[in-house]
A = this chain, B = another copy of it.
Amino acid sequence: MSFLYTGDKSYEFEIGNNLLDIIQSHNLGMESPCGGKGFCGKCKIKILSGDINDLTKEELKFLTKEEIDKNIRLSCLVYPKGDLYLEFLDTKSVNHKILVDGYMPEFKKNPILNKSTYGLEKPTLENNLSYEEILINTINCDLKDNYEILKDIPNLFEKNKFTKVCLGEKLIGLECDDTKDKLYSIAVDIGTTTVVCSLIDIKNQFEVSSESEINPQKEYGLDVLSRINFIKTKENGLDILHKSIIECINKLIEKLCENNNVNRENIYEVSIAANTTMMHILLNINPISIGKSPYAPVFVKSKNIDAKSLGIKISNFGKVYLLPGVSSYIGADIVAGVCVCDLKNVNKNVLFIDIGTNGEMVLSKKGKLVSCSCAAGPALEGMNISCGMRAGDGAIENVKIEESINLKVIGDKIPSGICGSGMVDAISELVRLNLIGKTGRIVKKEKILEDDKLGYLSECIIDENKKRRFVLTKNTKEIAITQEDIRQVQLAKGAILSGIYALADKVGIKITDLDEVIIAGQFGKHLSIDSLVGVGIIPKELKEKIKYIGNSSKTGAIMSLLSKDIRESMDNIASDIDYFELSTKDGYERLFTNCLKF
């Protein structure tokens, strides 16, 4: 046995293994995106002293002359021949920023999922122990009540080595042979509209790949309440919705496994962020109570459930971890976002908003967290709009009304409809040009004729069957914004804006006391700050303080896989967030009515 020394610590190792393996076997946190194959050059380390092999050709590709002079090497290509003294180059290498779809803060990686490999002694006539006892003595933990492990013991004893799989200290399964290198999990964000799955390499601590699908439950209702209604009115409704989301997740996992050459038996955990209703349906638990006063959910706490019992196809003994939520309308997706933004530890006033069918918001007054939720309706997602459509190919996503009407269409196609961001853009422009009054009414054609600034605007306004609309384009197909469309957006805007005011009021600050406004969710991707403020979803005083962080729900799910501390802190956040039911606020109706004005 030789020893590896670093700082004031020492670690035993066997000669013959490469340095990266030794470092990783002691969980010292060295990363190797290429898996120790010498392709990525990320596992640099400084050798202080010790007998090792000479510099290899492969290393020359990744090391500068300066680094070579300093005795820096790639640990995957170093084979120590005896005791070794070394220095880690940058502690940040352990806590680096993972590139994902959105912002991810730096945090200490200590995944809860872990593996260890053991040799197995066989019983003898003299040492006539049961297989179970030999196992217990080897791994030093009891199997007593785990029937699945018990059943598998005879297979284990056909080999000489086995691998223990644990969540923290808790044994979840045993595998034949040494499988230490294969350790994966899946992070899932179940949005009402979109489901995203990420394959996470736990051993090497990075996101391998990500896939998404439209939430198949969409077929049974666009928003949470209509899905609850489906469950209430349709026999087997819950079962139908439950099965559709499980199938969707399984399909995404299968895709990730195929594309990345990973066996699904080597996926041991699925971590899930979602709103409270999606969580209920995922577990096949009736969410009806969420839909009616007093809006009590069946559960919000974090959960660890056998993947098998949900029908999620990963390792036979894999688990599903559900992030904690706060209430019926502040779910685990929001807790994830608050954790990603570290709102509990900020020393300023920060507003976090996830704009979607529901507008959920959390205000952190220097760490004190209050939340509320408002029913924005599906308009901001392009639904319930006469020419509305999802943000896909052919959707108008940006509108500028200048010398002519300039439309930006997703995929540069001929426009076939308008998505949420296009709607908000268009209405923002109509407001700017006074084509919409404070109350939201499209002005009369005659009134424009008096002073048509751009010369063509009056032609765009059409009155038909006592209804008025503003035509954006007639190119092959007319796409227009109707008075009713504007009402829908206006209701969404009123709901969100009044929520912001009510929340600020609740914690006793003014809107102008806010230091930062963080916008999460898919919606932010396509929406300009100008339009958000232009329509009045966010007060214009906050314009300079707006930031986007992307899909923080998915990011939170990933972080929970890479750090057990994060799980603990999410539980704390969930219980610290106060939930404030808007409808119980004095004078809320008046506030809402005021907020409807453009």
Does chain B have a CB within 8 A of A460? no
A134 to chain B, nearest CB (A): 8
Write out, one digit per residue, whether chain A residues 295-310 have a CB within 8 A of any chain B CB (1) or not (0).
1111111111110010
Contact: B296 with A130, CB < 8 Å?
A: yes
Contact: A123 with B285, CB < 8 Å?
A: no
Write out, one digit per residue, whether chain A residues 131-155 have a CB within 8 A of any chain B CB (1) or not (0).
1110000000000110100110110
Bound Cα distance from A493 to B288, whole angstroms: 71
Does chain B have a CB within 8 A of A124? yes
Given contacts A125-B293, A581-B128, contact A301 B147 (CB under 8 A): no
Does chain B have a CB within 8 A of A317? no
A539 to chain B, nearest CB (A): 28
A166 to chain B, nearest CB (A): 15
A454 to chain B, nearest CB (A): 51
Q: Which residues of B contact A240 (CB under 8 A)?
A: none
Bound Cα distance from A357 to B131, whole angstroms: 25
Q: What range describes how many residues of A lie at the interface?
A: 35 or more
Q: Which residues of B contact A299 (CB under 8 A)?
A: 130-132, 150, 153
Contact: A153 with B300, CB < 8 Å?
A: no
Contact: B579 with A130, CB < 8 Å?
A: no
Which chain A residues (277-326) contact chain B, with CB distance < 8 Å?
Answer: 283-286, 288-289, 293-306, 309
Contact: A300 with B128, CB < 8 Å?
A: no
Contact: A123 with B294, CB < 8 Å?
A: yes
Contact: B298 with A132, CB < 8 Å?
A: yes
Does chain B have a CB within 8 A of A233? no
Q: Which residues of B contact A153 (CB under 8 A)?
A: 285, 298-299
Bound Cα distance from A309 to B308, whole angstroms: 13
Bound Cα distance from A286 to B157, whole angstroms: 12
Q: A125-B581, A128-B296 are in contact. List 12 more A-B contacts (CB 8 A).
A: A124-B294, A125-B584, A128-B328, A129-B296, A130-B299, A133-B301, A144-B301, A144-B304, A147-B309, A150-B299, A153-B299, A154-B298
Which chain A residues (100-129) contact chain B, with CB distance < 8 Å?
Answer: 123-126, 128-129
Q: Which of B129, B285, B289, B328 contacts A150 (CB 8 A)?
A: B285
Bound Cα distance from A131 to B300, whole angstroms: 9
Scoring A124, A302, A303, A327 by chain B CB atoms within 10 A of each residue's CB, the highest score goes to A303
A–B Cβ pairs within 8 angstroms, 16 of them: A125-B294, A125-B584, A128-B295, A130-B297, A130-B300, A130-B301, A132-B299, A132-B300, A132-B301, A144-B303, A144-B304, A150-B283, A150-B299, A150-B303, A153-B298, A154-B288
Contact: A297 with B131, CB < 8 Å?
A: yes
Bound Cα distance from A106 to B296, whole angstroms: 51
Q: Which residues of B contact A123 (CB under 8 A)?
A: 294, 296
Closest to A146 in B: B305
Bound Cα distance from A154 to B130, whole angstroms: 44
Scoring A147, A154, A284 by chain B CB atoms within 10 A of each residue's CB, the highest score goes to A147
Q: Which residues of B contact A151 (CB under 8 A)?
A: 283-285
Q: Which residues of B contact A285 (CB under 8 A)?
A: 150-151, 153-154
Bound Cα distance from A130 to B288, whole angstroms: 13
Q: Which residues of B contact A145 (CB under 8 A)?
A: 303-305
A304 to chain B, nearest CB (A): 5
A312 to chain B, nearest CB (A): 12
Q: Which residues of B contact A130 (CB under 8 A)?
A: 296-301, 327
Bound Cα distance from A327 to B130, whole angstroms: 7
Bound Cα distance from A579 to B153, whole angstroms: 23
Q: Which residues of B contact A309 (CB under 8 A)?
A: 147
Contact: B125 with A305, CB < 8 Å?
A: no
Bound Cα distance from A309 to B581, whole angstroms: 43
Q: Which residues of B contact A305 (CB under 8 A)?
A: 145, 147
Q: Which residues of B contact A286 (CB under 8 A)?
A: 154
Closest to A145 in B: B304
A593 to chain B, nearest CB (A): 22
Bound Cα distance from A305 to B144, whole angstroms: 9
